[in-house]
């Protein structure tokens, strides 16, 4: 387990996580404790959060655009009535956006007992959830280096998922910025080894 | 099978004819002897039969005893099992008691942690009683008096198990922030935004065309008040996300999660005040007006609870208006009337439910009342602890018309 270095803390103050975080979205077909154990054995500091939390937060971060637009219109005097303005200018809204991310990261940090979290685990998700595309897009826009992985049951000889199913849709919609981990037939040791390699790759 | 005896009897008969015939007396003796023997055998047979019957009775008795013994054994086993179950039950009760003690200890630790967190310069406050009092008197219920017993912080955070935020009543920890504004401990280096308004926060929750703009202007006429406008529910998803963290802390009963959740709420609220509301210097009360329509109570509850819990000394004003009139107004008039009325009635019900749950710092008001009655306006000023405004003629409609003029 890595502890949070002063540099990490400083960078987190700026809203930048030092270690690229992996987001593992685990399907209902996968035992959540199995995934968590495998990740921990592989040396990852895991923070488990609900998909609802992540999706709502992502949506909230996106809606800052509404405030930003209102601020722009107010500054430019382009017709938005004064009663629909919160008082912020564009610079302040930009700061708000960053502080919102800091609050998010601080929450993760607290959950990881002040260690640098390396993996956010979303257990028990339905891959039919149409919010996933928006979530992945927001995650990649915010932290470009984050690896997003969908853990799901199923075995493939090549490891490539069927591009015609829901998962395939998600992969296509997120422009291949996410990956699939087919967990069926893997023992805990195999999963640990696989994840250890994969995390090494991510670093 | 019977051929040989017959042959023997035939030979005997032949022999009898050959030998000398026995005398009549001998024959009589022989007969008597045979009769006696037969009688003996008969008696023996009868006694054997009697013994046999006795044995059969004894056997039946033994079988009966055996069955009774078996039943007794089963009964004994059942009793043993019941005793075992009782012992297990006692053990479980004992464990449960220990767990409750441990849980209470954990809650106490959380209380200490929170106290330490608050005393580190975050939000130094006094913890007040959770006793809910109706807020219709002149004495504002949300101002703690020195005589008021200090409530346990752990009582305030004692989350009941429930699936929804509303059921959980978890926002009782609002009490932690209640005295923030009035205690004079607002100089918080960690959350300067939350400490900026000297008297706390005020949020107006309502629906479009409810006269909310008139209300906003009326409130902004109070010196030191800065109530901003609506922005299409920009804060709602964040409030929902925060609600998820509260539920997670509650579900897993982890103090760290609860503390993390509290901090998340305060951090977001602080940056929202500093970077979005941007109240002017020396502001007394800051806030905004939201007229987002909620169709489900969970979504409404999360927003209201976030505002109520994460902003120090936050008061909520729920503005309602005659539904029929609202339904005929503006964009509502272009929608199916039945559907509009259903939405408005739901919103009014949500407002009532929340303000009934947290009457200390919530008030439901009606546009038709405060625009026509000084008494109704006084109720608002009492709620806001603005004694200077009591009995002052501040008819919002007249003010609105003045503005137009």
ipTM of the complex: 0.84
Is B257's CB within 8 Å of A111's CB? yes
SS (H, E, C) B204-222: EECCCCCCHHHHHHHHHCC
Over residues A73-104, the pLDDT tens digits come to: 878 877 656 566 777 888 899 999 999 998 99
Is B256's CB within 8 Å of A87's CB? no
Q: What is the pLDDT of residue B284?
A: 95
Q: Which of B232, B244, B276 has the CB atom closest to A93's CB atom?
A: B276
Of B167, B150, B175, B170, the closest CA to residue B158 belongs to B170
Helices and strands, number each (H, E), in chain B: 15, 5
Q: Which tokens hold the place of B281?
A: 């210097």
Is A52's CB within 8 Å of B244's CB? yes
Please tell me whether residue B295 adopts helix, strand or coil conformation: coil
Chain A with chain B: Cβ pairs closer than 8 A: 119
Task: Find the closest chain A residue to B228 by CA distance.
Answer: A86
**Hunting for tokens 């930048």 — which residue is that?**
A16
Cα(B207)–Cα(B349) distance, integer angstroms: 13
Contact A28, A126 (CB under 8 A): yes
Chain B residues whose beta carbon lies within 8 Å of the beta carbon of residue A53: 241, 244-245, 248
Cα(B278)–Cα(B266) distance, integer angstroms: 16
Of B361, B366, B389, B384, the closest CA to residue B376 belongs to B366
Q: What is the pLDDT of residue B113?
A: 64
Cα(B170)–Cα(B159) distance, integer angstroms: 5
H helical segments located in B120-253:
153-156, 165-168, 175-178, 192-195, 212-220, 236-251
* Closest approach of B303 to chain A, Cα-based (Å): 12
CB-based contact, A138 to chain B, within 8 Å: no
Degrees to nearest 5, angle at CA B223 with B217 and B225: 60
Please tell me whether residue A46 adopts helix, strand or coil conformation: strand
- Cβ neighbours of residue B45 closer than 8 Å, sequence gap 6 or more: none
Q: What is the pLDDT of residue A80?
A: 55
Residue B345 has pLDDT above 90, yes or no: yes
Chain A residues whose beta carbon lies within 8 Å of the beta carbon of residue B228: 85-87
Task: Find the closest chain A residue to B280 by CA distance.
Answer: A87
Cα(A25)–Cα(A120) distance, integer angstroms: 8
Contact A149, A191 (CB under 8 A): no
Over residues B257-272, the pLDDT tens digits come to: 777 888 889 899 999 9
Q: What is the pLDDT of residue A106?
A: 85
DSSP H/E element including B269: helix B255-272
Distances (CA, A) of B350 to B158, B211, B298, B360, B392: 24, 18, 9, 17, 31
Q: What's the average model confidence in pLDDT over B364-390? A: 90
Chain B residues whose beta carbon lies within 8 Å of the beta carbon of residue A99: 267, 271, 274-275
* Closest approach of A43 to chain B, Cα-based (Å): 22
Over residues B138-153, the pLDDT tens digits come to: 333 332 332 322 233 3
State the angle between helix axes of B236-251 and B255-272 in degrees (0 to 180), rounded to the nearest 10: 170
Is A50's CB within 8 Å of B237's CB? no
Q: Quick one: pLDDT band at residue B389, thresholds 50, 70, 90?
A: confident
Is A60's CB within 8 Å of B238's CB? yes
Residue A66 has pLDDT above 90, yes or no: no
Of A173, A122, A118, A167, the closest CA to residue A146 belongs to A118
* Closest approach of B292 to chain A, Cα-based (Å): 12
Is B271's CB within 8 Å of A83's CB? no
Cα(B195)–Cα(B114) distance, integer angstroms: 18
Q: What is the pLDDT of residue B130?
A: 33
Task: Find the closest chain B residue to A48 by CA distance.
Answer: B248
Is A88's CB within 8 Å of B240's CB? no
Among the ranges given (A111-125, B118-132, B352-366), the one the predictor scored with the smallest mean pLDDT: B118-132
Task: Find the closest chain B residue to A102 by CA distance.
Answer: B267
Chain B residues whose beta carbon lies within 8 Å of the beta carbon of residue A70: 231
Task: Find the closest chain A residue to B235 by CA distance.
Answer: A60
Q: Within its chain, how far is the Cα of A65 from the centroid?
A: 20
Residue B24 has pLDDT above 60, yes or no: yes
Cα(B233)–Cα(B302) distance, integer angstroms: 12
Is B275's CB within 8 Å of A53's CB? no
Distances (CA, A) of B339 to B210, B326, B353: 17, 13, 21
Q: Which of B229, B263, B274 has the CB atom closest to A106's CB atom?
A: B263
**Phi (first) and psi of residue B326, to 5 degrees:** -65, -40
Distances (CA, A) of B249 to A93, B252, B260, B309: 30, 6, 9, 15
* Closest approach of A139 to chain B, Cα-based (Å): 15
Is A87's CB within 8 Å of B228's CB? yes
* Closest approach of B395 to chain A, Cα-based (Å): 20
**Phi (first) and psi of residue B225, to 5 degrees:** -95, 135
Among the ranges given (A51-60, A134-143, B335-344), the one the predictor scored with the smallest mean pLDDT: A134-143
**Hunting for tokens 């130094």 — which residue is that?**
B124
Count of other CB atoms within 10 angstroms of residue A64 = 20
Is A87's CB within 8 Å of B248's CB? no
Over residues B115-173, the pLDDT tens digits come to: 556 544 433 333 323 333 333 333 333 323 323 222 333 333 222 233 355 554 444 44
Residue B110 has pLDDT above 60, yes or no: yes
Residue A149 has pLDDT above 70, yes or no: yes
CB-based contact, A52 to chain B, within 8 Å: yes
Is A99's CB within 8 Å of B275's CB? yes
Count of other CB atoms within 10 angstroms of residue B267 = 22
CB-based contact, A200 to chain B, within 8 Å: no
- Classify strands A178-182 and A119-125 as parallel, antiparallel or unpaired: unpaired
Q: What is the pLDDT of residue B251?
A: 65
**Phi (first) and psi of residue A175, to 5 degrees:** 50, 45
In this structure, what is the dihedral angle of CA atoms A98, A104, A106, A111, given to the nearest 10 degrees?
A: -170
Cα(A92)–Cα(B289) distance, integer angstroms: 20
Q: Quick one: pLDDT band at residue A154, thresholds 50, 70, 90?
A: low
Residue B84 has pLDDT above 70, yes or no: yes
Chain B residues with at least one Cβ partner in A under 8 Å: 213, 216, 226, 228-241, 244-245, 248, 256-257, 259-261, 263-264, 267-268, 271-272, 274-279, 288-289
CB-based contact, A93 to chain B, within 8 Å: yes
């Amino acid at each position: 387990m890595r502890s949070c270095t002063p540099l990490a803390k400083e960078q987190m103050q700026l809203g930048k996580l030092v270690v690229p975080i992996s987001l593992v979205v685990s399907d209902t077909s996968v035992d959540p404790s199995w995934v968590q154990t495998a990740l921990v054995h592989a040396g990852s500091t895991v923070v488990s959060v609900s998909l609802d939390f992540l999706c709502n937060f992502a949506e909230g971060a996106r809606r800052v655009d509404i405030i930003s637009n209102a601020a722009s219109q107010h500054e430019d005097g382009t017709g938005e009535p004064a009663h629909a303005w919160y008082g912020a200018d564009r610079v302040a809204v930009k700061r708000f956006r960053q502080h919102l991310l800091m609050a998010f990261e601080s929450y993760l940090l607290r959950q990881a007992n002040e260690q640098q979290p390396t993996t956010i685990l979303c257990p028990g998700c339905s891959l039919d959830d149409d919010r996933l595309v928006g979530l992945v897009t927001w995650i990649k826009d915010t932290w470009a280096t984050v690896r997003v992985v969908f853990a799901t049951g199923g075995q493939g000889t090549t490891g490539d998922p069927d591009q015609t199913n829901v998962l395939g849709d998600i992969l296509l919609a997120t422009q291949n910025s996410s990956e699939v981990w087919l967990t069926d037939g893997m023992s805990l040791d195999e999963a640990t080894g696989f994840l250890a390699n994969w995390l090494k790759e991510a670093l | 099978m019977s051929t040989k005896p017959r042959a023997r009897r035939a030979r005997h008969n032949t022999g009898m004819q050959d030998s000398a015939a026995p005398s009549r007396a001998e024959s009589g003796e022989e007969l008597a002897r045979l009769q006696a023997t037969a009688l003996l055998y008969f008696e023996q047979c009868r006694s054997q039969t009697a013994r046999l019957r006795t044995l059969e009775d004894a056997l039946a008795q033994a079988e009966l005893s055996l069955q009774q013994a078996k039943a007794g054994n089963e009964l004994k086993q059942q009793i043993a099992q019941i005793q075992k179950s009782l012992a297990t039950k006692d053990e479980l009760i004992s464990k449960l008691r220990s767990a409750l003690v441990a849980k209470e200890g954990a809650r106490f630790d959380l209380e200490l942690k929170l106290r330490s967190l608050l005393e580190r310069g975050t939000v130094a406050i006094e913890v007040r009683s959770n006793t809910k009092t109706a807020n219709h008197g002149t004495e504002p219920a949300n101002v703690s008096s020195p005589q008021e017993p200090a409530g346990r912080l752990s009582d305030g955070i004692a989350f009941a198990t429930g699936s929804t935020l509303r059921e959980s009543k978890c926002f009782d920890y609002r009490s932690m922030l209640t005295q923030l504004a009035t205690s004079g401990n607002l100089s918080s280096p960690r959350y300067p935004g939350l400490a900026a308004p000297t008297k706390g926060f005020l949020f107006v929750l309502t629906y479009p065309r409810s006269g909310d703009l008139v209300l906003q202007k009326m409130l902004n006429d109070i010196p030191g008040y800065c109530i901003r406008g609506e922005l299409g529910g920009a804060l709602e998803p964040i409030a929902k996300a925060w609600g998820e963290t509260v539920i997670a802390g509650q579900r897993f009963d982890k103090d760290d999660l609860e503390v993390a959740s509290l901090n998340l709420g305060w951090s977001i609220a602080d940056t929202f005040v500093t970077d979005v509301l941007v109240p002017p210097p020396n502001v007394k009360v800051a806030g905004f007006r939201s007229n987002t329509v909620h169709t489900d109570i969970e979504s409404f509850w999360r927003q209201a609870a976030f505002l109520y819990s994460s902003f120090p000394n936050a008061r909520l004003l729920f503005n309602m208006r005659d539904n029929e009139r609202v339904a005929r107004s503006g964009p509502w008039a272009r929608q199916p009337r039945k559907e509009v009325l259903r939405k408005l009635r739901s919103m009014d019900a949500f407002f009532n439910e929340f303000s009934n749950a947290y009457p200390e710092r919530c008030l439901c008001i009606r546009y038709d009342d405060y625009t026509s009655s000084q008494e109704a306006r006084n109720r608002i000023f009492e709620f806001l602890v603005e004694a200077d405004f009591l009995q002052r003629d501040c008819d919002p409609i007249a003010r609105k018309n003045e503005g137009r003029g």
